[in-house]
Amino acid sequence: MHIERLEVKRFSLRPPIPLTVAYGSYPTLDYVSLQVHTDNGLVGLGEASPDTEVTGETQDTCLHGLQRAESWLIGRDPFELEALLGAFEEEFFGQPSAMAALDMALYDLIGKALGVPVYRLLGGSARRVMEIYPLVPLLPPREMAELAAAFATGGYGTLKLKVGTGPDEDEERVRLVREAVGPEVRLRVDVNQGWHTAAVAIPAVERVARWKVDWIEQPVDAEDLDGLAEVTHAVKVPIMVDEGCHAPQDALAVVRRGAANIINIKLMKCGGLHRALQIAAIAEAAGLPCIVGSMGESSIGSLAGLHLYASRKCFLAGEVIGPLFVEGDIASGFEVLDGCAVLPAKPGLGAALFRSPASEETQPA
C-alpha cells in the first residue's frame, strides 16, 4: 500500500452563538479537510483546525502546507508514520494543526488496512464510558447563567465555563452559574490566559474556587511558566496548563517546574495522536492527569480525540464536543448516548464524509 494523492479543501463550522474566549471571538471556525488516497482504494481522513492565537496558523497556511507536502508523500507507505510525521515537522515547523491532519489521516489508513479501530492502535480501550459536556462561552454573567441553566435542565451534569475579563466579573459569572445550576453540577473554569500574571491570578483563583469548581485552566499568559508554577503552588484548587503546553518538550518543562496539576492535550496544539501519546507518557510518568481538549473540530478531528481519550487511563475528561455544538459538520460517525460518547467499532477513525468541503481553489496565503 502506498499513497497516490491528497485532497486538501477548506470548510467552515458555525457555532450557534460566536465562540468567545478571553483572547477573541469566533463566529465561524475556518478549517481544512484532508483525504489521503492509496493505491488499493483506501482513503484516510484528517482535519486541520487551527486557532491563530494558539498555534499561529490560519486556514490558508494549513491548506498550502498540506498541498505542498503531497509531492514527497506520493509513493510512501502510510505505515511509516514516524518517518512521515518527522519529515513533515521538519519541513513545516510551526504548523501543528496541519501536521495533526496528516497524523490522523495516516492512523485512519493504518486502522482501515488492518481492520481495527484507531484506539486499538493506541493501546486498546482503557475505558468504555466517556462523558462529554458542553462549553459556556464568555458572555455577560447573567447570560452565561441562563445558558448554563438550560444545559443543566437538558441533563448535563458537567459544564465548562469560559472567563477571563477580570476577577470581579469572572467571580460574578461563576457565582451566578453556580446559583443557576445548583450544587451538584460540576463546573470547570477556563481563563484562557485572561488574568495574565500570578499577582492577579492567585487571589482571583481563590475567589472563583469558593463556588465549588473542579479546576481552573490557564490563568496566566502562555509563555509565563514561572507564573503558572507560582499560582499552582499557592492555591488549593487544581490548575491546568493549556496554551502553555504544546509539545512533549513543554510537558517536560511543566513537570520539572511543578507548573500545573493537569495537562490539557489538544491534537491541534501538539501535531496529532503520535505526539499526544508522547505528552501523555510524560504526564503519566510524573503522576499528572490529563484531559483531551478540543478546538471545536468536526466529527473527523473529534473522533480522533475520542480514540485518544479511550486509550489512556490518565485522561480525566474528554472535551471533544464539536459535532454537538456546531453547524456544518462534514462527516458522520460521532455518536452520543445518554451524555456519553460512543466508542467507534469501525476500522480507522470511524468517520465518513457526508458533505464535500468547499473547493481549495481560493486566494493564496
* Residues labelled as active-site residues: 162, 190, 217, 242, 266
Q: Which residues lie across from 45 on neighbouring strands?
A: 35
